[in-house]
Structure 1
Amino acid sequence: MGRGAYALARVAVIVRAPARWLFWLGALGAGIGALVPGLTGRRIGLLAGAGAFVVAGVAAFLARRGRYAELAGGAERAGRSVYLQDRAVALRNWRRARRWWLAVAFLVAVGSSFAVPAAVGLGLAGLGVGLWAKALWLGRLERRADALLWVRTERAQGSPAAAAVSGWFATGLAAGDALPGGARRRTRPAAGGAVVTAAR
Structure 2
Amino acid sequence: MARGGQGLARVAVVVRAGAAPLWWLGVCAAGIGVLVPGLTGRRIGLSAGAALFVVATAVVAYAGRRRYAALARSAARAGKHDVLQDRAVSVRTWRRGHRWWLLLAFLAVLGSAFAVPAAGGLLLAGCGAGLWLKAAWIGRREQDGDALLWVRVDWLTKNGGRPAGKAVRAYRTTGVAAGDAAPGGTRRKPSALV
Structure-1 residue corresponding to 2:8 = 8
Among candidates 170, 181, 184, match of residue 181 of structure 1? 184
How large is the Cα RMSD of the aligned pairs? 1.1
Offset, 1:109: 1.2
2:120 maps to amino acid: V
Q: How does 1:79-90 map to 2 (within 5 A)?
A: 79-90=79-90
1:51 aligns with 2:54: no
Offset, 1:187: 3.0
Offset, 1:6: 1.4
Structure-1 residue corresponding to 2:171 = 168
Offset, 1:73: 1.0
CA–CA distance in structure 1, aligned partners of residues 87 and 56 of structure 2: 26
Q: Deviations over 1:71-124 (max 9, x none)?
A: 111111001110000000001001111111111111111110000001010000
Structure-2 residue corresponding to 1:197 = none
CA–CA distance in structure 2, aligned partners of residues 161 and 96 of structure 1: 19
Alignment identity in percent?
61
Structure-2 residue corresponding to 1:192 = none
Q: Which structure 1 segments of 5+ residues have no match?
A: 189-200
CA–CA distance in structure 1, aligned partners of residues 87 and 190 of structure 2: 13
Structure-2 residue corresponding to 1:191 = none
Structure-2 residue corresponding to 1:109 = 109
1:70 maps to amino acid: A
CA–CA distance in structure 2, aligned partners of residues 82 and 184 of structure 1: 21
Offset, 1:5: 1.5
Q: Deviations over 1:178-199 (max 9, x none)?
A: 00000011239xxxxxxxxxxx
2:39 maps to amino acid: L
Structure 1 segments (4+ residues) deviating >4 Å: none
Structure-2 residue corresponding to 1:36 = 36
Offset, 1:17: 0.4
CA–CA distance in structure 1, aligned partners of residues 144 and 187 of structure 2: 19
3-state SS, counterpart of residue 8 of structure 2? strand
Q: Which structure 2 segments of 5+ residues have no match?
A: none
CA–CA distance in structure 1, aligned partners of residues 53 and 175 of structure 2: 36
3-state SS, counterpart of residue 30 of structure 1? helix
CA–CA distance in structure 1, aligned partners of residues 34 and 151 of structure 2: 40
2:172 maps to amino acid: F
3-state SS, counterpart of residue 18 of structure 2? helix
3-state SS, counterpart of residue 68 of structure 2? helix
Structure-2 residue corresponding to 1:99 = 99
